[in-house]
Amino acid sequence: MQPEPAAPPRSQDRRALRSRAALMAAAVRLVSERGTTAIPVTDLTEAADVSRQVLYLQFGDRDVLLVEAAADLVRRELITEADESGDAFSGVQAMARHFAAHRSFYRAMLTGSCAFAMTRTLNGLFGAANAKTVRELFGELDEQVARDLAAFVAAGTGAVVNDWLIDGADPLDPLDPEELARRLLRLAPVFTGGGRTSPDGGPR
């Protein structure tokens, strides 16, 4: 018996994926270059070489596109690298390097029209990523407690990152990722009950 021939690839799906990827790449680039989320839809579609209709079909509106582009960037670059790092220390350093490298983009996203949706999306991504670490630190927990604790850690981490990105060094000056890593790592022994810390963040 001859095997059934493989179904031909769905070219429409491939085109839609290419258009989606092009729009998200254009969103990251234009927001980073201009330092604002107030990017006209026409500029986004021209940069992605697609029609306005494609943007609305794929994302619904501009702000949804911008938030989806940010989530895609986090998944592709940050969460993947943090997962591959193998330990919390390296993961924090990877996060600090990522936000420093994309400071203009994230600063605009966290202060622009989609700031609320952006914050919720980041908290959701980091909350899911933190679930394993929370269980390693605190052992077996009730499922709801584990989710709430992961969300708590994600929101607190996000608040520190936001402060560093938005209220830290002059926007024109490069950020030092080691500074953010130190700030976050100094919190670990306090949060996990590892004892009081000295003013420089080390254990007493």
Confidence of residue 12 (pLDDT cuts 50, 70, 90): low
Entry pTM? 0.80
Residues 63-84 have pLDDT tens digits of 999 999 999 999 999 887 766 6
126 class by beta-carbon count within 10 Å (0-12 exposed, 13-18 middle, 19+ buried): buried
Q: Give the C-alpha separation, 110 to 108, whole Å.
A: 6
Sign of the CA dihedral 122, 32, 116, 181? positive
The domain segmentation of the chain, as residue ranges, is: 15-189
**pLDDT at position 84:** 66
Q: Give the C-alpha separation, 58 to 11, whole Å.
A: 16
CATH class entry, domain 15-189: mainly alpha
Residues 112-122 have pLDDT tens digits of 999 999 999 98
Q: Which one-letter DSSP state was computed for residue 5?
A: P
**pLDDT at position 129:** 74
Q: Is 17 helix (H, G, I), strand (E, B) or coil?
A: helix
- Residue 200, pLDDT > 60, answer no
